[in-house]
């Protein structure tokens, strides 16, 4: 399959082919090629397992590894799957799970376009900004949903708040067509604060960062729903490989991330450096979660998504916390548990990358305990059932605020 091709807004266009030249023509050609090789799930997985090999050899200054403790992590994860899904009918780890409140699927209840393609575009318009708004909310923030009476925190609260923001038409330029997000240029911190019920008594971390991210999204792609059509064009015989979803997103969304690294003029997004690694450490957490979240609207529109395990586990604090709290990973310096660490520092970059590789190790152990196959229970189900929920569960047992075991200094655009 040919690599994803899409037009970048405000980018030069080749007059002979009408193709966007975008960021590809800037900088050294070799650097540009190397940069694009980092914008794949395969690169995330390869570098994560390189990081794991270093940890196994005792060559990571910040972390110590005990793979025997993976059995404990697998026991906890499999037990959490059975508790949450006794029939083992686990959906994919996706933003859509956070639109379900007390058994009510709020998106399913909403009035939506009847045409499958229009529905797909609307779903992309909802879920892409919603994922970008999902960086950690902090322990104190809560959202009170008037329609259901639910009081929700963390990802669930952010999910419902973003759904209500979208349904209000605040992201649309057309009052008669509220379920579209072509008005992202008008998003500011005050709009997010109002929609997310932020106050002195209900603080939400990274407020300006979230608003800026949505504005950058609008500047980069116009309407996120347009990416539905881009991905549909890459389907072959009605089938689309999941890693291609990520590649399209990483090409389209690269310019939106503030203050990130670039190579050969190509923005690298959630990609960092580490002193033990020769080169870059790609992670692409939010973009991969977004990729998982786009599978369902694509399939609803009749496009079968295959090779789901071509994506990786997510380098975030619930999965990463599971490995710290079960003793698979321990800090080389215990005092680091009492410090806050920058998101681009070696301790956090290493932790996140190790998390990706360890999820690959964990998944078959969980499947063995559940008696399921990799085909029937891909990594997206292990995450949902699953490692993410187990990470939250053990965090509640170990810390009063149920927060992560490592404090990370971030701007609201990574986790």
Handedness of CA 77, 82, 87, 90 (dihedral sign): negative
Give CA separation, 46 vs 243, 273, 280, 312, 353, in Å.
Answer: 14, 15, 11, 10, 10
What pLDDT is stored for residue 412 in this prediction?
64
The structure tokens listed for 50 are 């390189």
pLDDT, tens digit, for every residue of 71-93?
Answer: 999 999 999 999 999 999 999 99
What pLDDT is stored for residue 113 in this prediction?
94
For residue 26, pLDDT over 50 is answered with no
Query: What mean pLDDT do residues 225-236 have?
Result: 97
What pLDDT is stored for residue 127 in this prediction?
97
244 Cβ neighbours under 8 A, 6+ residues apart: 1, 4, 231, 234
Q: What does the alpha-carbon distance between residue 258 and residue 240 come to, in Å, rounded to a whole number?
A: 30
Q: What is the pTM of this model?
A: 0.89
Query: What mean pLDDT do residues 243-258 have?
Result: 94
The angle, 0 to 180 degrees and rounded to 10, between the axes of the packed helices 70-84 and 317-325 is 120
What pLDDT is stored for residue 28 in this prediction?
60
Q: Is 371 exposed, middle or buried (0-12, 13-18, 19+ CB in 10 A)?
A: exposed
pLDDT, tens digit, for every residue of 310-368?
Answer: 999 999 999 999 999 999 999 999 999 999 999 999 999 999 999 999 999 999 999 99
Query: What mean pLDDT do residues 186-199 have?
Result: 96
The answer to whether residues 310 and 241 touch, using CB atoms and an 8 Å cutoff, is yes
Residue carrying structure tokens 């899904």: 85
What pLDDT is stored for residue 10 in this prediction?
36
For residue 162, pLDDT over 90 is answered with yes
The full set of domain ranges for the chain reads 45-92+261-286+308-415, 94-233
Q: What does the alpha-carbon distance between residue 196 and residue 202 come to, in Å, rounded to a whole number?
A: 9
């Amino acid at each position: 399959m040919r690599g994803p091709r899409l037009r970048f807004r405000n980018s030069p266009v080749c007059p002979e082919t009408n193709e966007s030249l975008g960021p590809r023509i800037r900088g050294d050609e070799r650097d540009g090629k190397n940069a694009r090789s980092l914008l794949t799930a395969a690169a995330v997985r390869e570098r994560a397992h390189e990081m794991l090999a270093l940890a196994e050899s005792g060559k990571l200054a910040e972390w110590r590894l005990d793979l025997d403790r993976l059995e404990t992590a697998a026991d906890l994860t499999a037990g959490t799957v059975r508790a949450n899904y006794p029939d083992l009918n686990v959906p994919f780890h996706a933003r859509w799970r956070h639109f379900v409140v007390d058994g009510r699927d709020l998106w399913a209840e909403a009035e939506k376009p009847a045409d499958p393609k229009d529905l797909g575009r609307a779903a992309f318009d909802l879920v892409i900004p919603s994922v970008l708004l999902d960086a950690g909310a902090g322990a104190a923030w809560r959202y009170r949903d008037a329609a259901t009476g639910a009081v929700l925190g963390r990802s669930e609260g952010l999910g419902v708040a973003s759904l209500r923001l979208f349904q209000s038409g605040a992201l649309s330029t057309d009052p008669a067509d509220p379920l579209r997000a072509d008005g992202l240029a008008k998003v500011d911190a005050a709009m997010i604060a109002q929609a997310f019920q932020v106050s002195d008594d209900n603080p939400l971390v990274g407020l300006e960062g979230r608003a800026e991210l949505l504005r950058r999204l609008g500047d980069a792609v116009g309407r996120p729903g347009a990416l539905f059509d881009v991905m549909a064009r890459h389907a072959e015989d009605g089938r689309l490989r999941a890693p291609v979803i990520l590649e399209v997103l990483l090409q389209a969304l690269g310019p939106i991330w503030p203050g990130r690294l670039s190579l050969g003029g190509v923005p690298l997004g959630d990609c960092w450096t580490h002193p033990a690694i020769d080169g870059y450490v790609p992670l692409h957490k939010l973009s991969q979660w977004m990729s998982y979240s786009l599978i369902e609207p694509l399939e609803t529109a009749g496009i079968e998504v295959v090779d789901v395990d071509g994506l990786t586990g997510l380098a975030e604090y619930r999965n990463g916390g599971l490995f710290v709290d079960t003793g698979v990973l321990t800090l080389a310096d215990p005092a680091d548990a009492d410090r806050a660490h920058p998101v681009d520092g070696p301790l956090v970059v290493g932790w996140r990358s190790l998390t990706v590789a360890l999820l690959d190790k964990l998944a078959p152990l969980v499947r063995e305990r559940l008696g399921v196959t990799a085909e029937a229970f891909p990594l997206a189900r292990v995450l949902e059932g699953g490692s993410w929920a187990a990470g939250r569960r053990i965090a509640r047992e170990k810390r009063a605020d149920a927060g992560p075991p490592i404090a990370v200094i971030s701007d609201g655009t990574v986790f």
